[in-house]
């Protein structure tokens, strides 16, 4: 069976765990809703490459092997935890710091506390765990204007060396809306996807490889579980609209793939080997959360606030079944 001259379909020529061009097109349609990337046309005559083309006729090839990178089921043994941002003295330069009744709320410090508690729990289950940082200091010294980029690059290098079976980037949400309105509260989980047109020229092949490597199909069910367990543990609803400051800055509003689940082309999701989730927990500058989270920042690392424990335990509840189950 042929699709285009010199190209063959998957069904008769390849092992069944390699998706067909139609299946790959459907995956891309979900992950690339703006259709800024080329679509599959078929496989090369020797079956070694998937051929893609965009509306302008620009062609791209992906190796057959790259389509299988994360499609085979395997037990989750290695988990990377990425406490988002840096915190400490760098929180203000990161613009991830707020004042509440004379106390400072620093997102990087909150994220680290969640990661440290979760690490202890996962180690008890026998997982091998990597934390991309253990303090409120950057991995490398860099000028303030370069710090965020250098930090992301350094963490990507750690993930590449560790080769985790799963990566979780841990964050706390923030709102630019009135900090008293209920709509600015809620749990969000980001999966890789939804590239923007301006991102494609420099990331074209990288985006295609990441979208078609099979990791999304493994990340989505876990994302649903994380949303459910965090909502229950924290007493919060799932977000249904992307209300992050990114929306105001770009004029783009992202709708949820489903309640609590969003797609974004974020660096940690793009560079993490295998399935990856970026989790946004309680909204730290909302009046319903700020007092508890300000107190959480003031506590020693070894004495986490109950709100931190609730967040970490919600993640633990979602991850614990993976200790002996293929994912």
pLDDT digits (tens, 9 = 90+) for 284-327: 988 889 999 999 999 999 999 999 999 999 999 999 999 865 54
Q: Are 305 and 53 in contact (CB under 8 A)?
A: no
Q: Is residue 5 part of a domain?
A: no
Q: Would you call 219 helix, strand, or coil by DSSP?
A: helix
Sign (positive/negative) of CA torsion 254, 225, 185, 106? negative
Tell me, yes or no, whether 178 and 245 share the same domain. Answer: yes
Contact present, 265 and 194 (Cβ < 8 Å): yes
How many CB atoms within 10 Å of residue 2? 10
Using the Cα atoms of residue 80, residue 206, residue 4 and residue 44 in order, give the sign of their dihedral: negative
Q: Residue ranges of the alpha helices (H) in 11-92?
A: 21-31
302 within a domain of the structure (yes/no): yes
Domain count, the chain: 2
Report which of residues 323 and 14 the model is more confident about: 323
pLDDT at position 13 is: 37
Angle CA 300–85–247, to nearest 5: 130
Same structural domain for residues 255 and 282?
yes
Q: Which H or E run contains 209?
A: helix 200-211
Structural tokens at position 316: 């633990």
Q: Across all residues in the chain, what is the average pLDDT?
A: 86
Shared domain for 49 and 130, answered yes or no, is no
For residue 239, give the DSSP letter: P
Shared domain for 271 and 133, answered yes or no, is: yes
Kindly report, residue by residue over 103-140, the tens digit of the pLDDT.
889 999 999 999 999 999 999 999 999 999 998 887 77
Residues 37 and 142 in one domain: no
Give the global pTM: 0.89
Owning domain of residue 158: 78-324
End position of a domain, from candidates 68, 102, 127: 68
Identify the three-state secondary structure at position 277.
Answer: strand
pLDDT higher than 80, residue 53 = yes
User: Do 60 and 131 belong together in one domain?
Assistant: no
pLDDT value at 179 more than 70: no
């Amino acid at each position: 069976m042929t699709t285009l001259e010199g190209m063959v379909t998957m069904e008769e020529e390849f092992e069944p765990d390699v998706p067909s061009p139609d299946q790959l097109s459907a995956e891309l349609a979900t992950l690339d809703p703006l259709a800024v990337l080329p679509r599959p046309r078929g496989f090369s005559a020797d079956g070694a490459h998937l051929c893609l083309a965009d509306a302008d006729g620009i062609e791209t090839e992906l190796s057959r092997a790259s389509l299988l990178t994360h499609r085979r089921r395997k037990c989750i043994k290695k988990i990377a935890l990425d406490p988002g941002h840096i915190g400490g003295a760098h929180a203000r330069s990161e613009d991830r710091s707020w004042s509440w009744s004379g106390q400072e709320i620093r997102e990087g410090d909150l994220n680290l506390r969640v990661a440290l508690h979760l690490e202890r729990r996962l180690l008890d289950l026998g997982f091998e765990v990597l934390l991309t940082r253990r303090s409120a200091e950057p991995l490398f010294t860099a000028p303030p204007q370069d710090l965020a980029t250098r930090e992301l690059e350094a963490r990507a290098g750690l993930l590449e060396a560790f080769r985790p079976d799963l990566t979780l980037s841990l964050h706390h949400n923030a709102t630019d809306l009135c900090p008293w309105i209920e709509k600015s509260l809620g749990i969000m989980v980001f999966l890789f996807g939804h590239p923007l047109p301006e991102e494609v020229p420099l990331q074209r092949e990288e985006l295609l490889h990441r979208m078609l490597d099979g990791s999304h199909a493994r990340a989505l069910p876990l994302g649903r579980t994380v949303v459910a367990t965090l909502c229950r543990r924290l007493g919060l609803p799932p977000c249904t609209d992307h209300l992050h400051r990114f929306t105001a800055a770009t004029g783009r509003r992202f709708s949820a793939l489903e309640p609590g689940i969003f797609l974004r082309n974020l660096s940690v999701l793009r560079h993490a080997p295998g399935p990856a989730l970026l989790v946004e927990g309680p909204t730290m500058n909302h009046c319903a959360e700020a007092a508890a989270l300000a107190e959480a920042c003031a506590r020693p690392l070894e004495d986490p606030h109950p709100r931190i424990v609730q967040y970490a335990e919600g993640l633990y509840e979602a991850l614990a079944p993976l200790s002996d189950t293929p994912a």
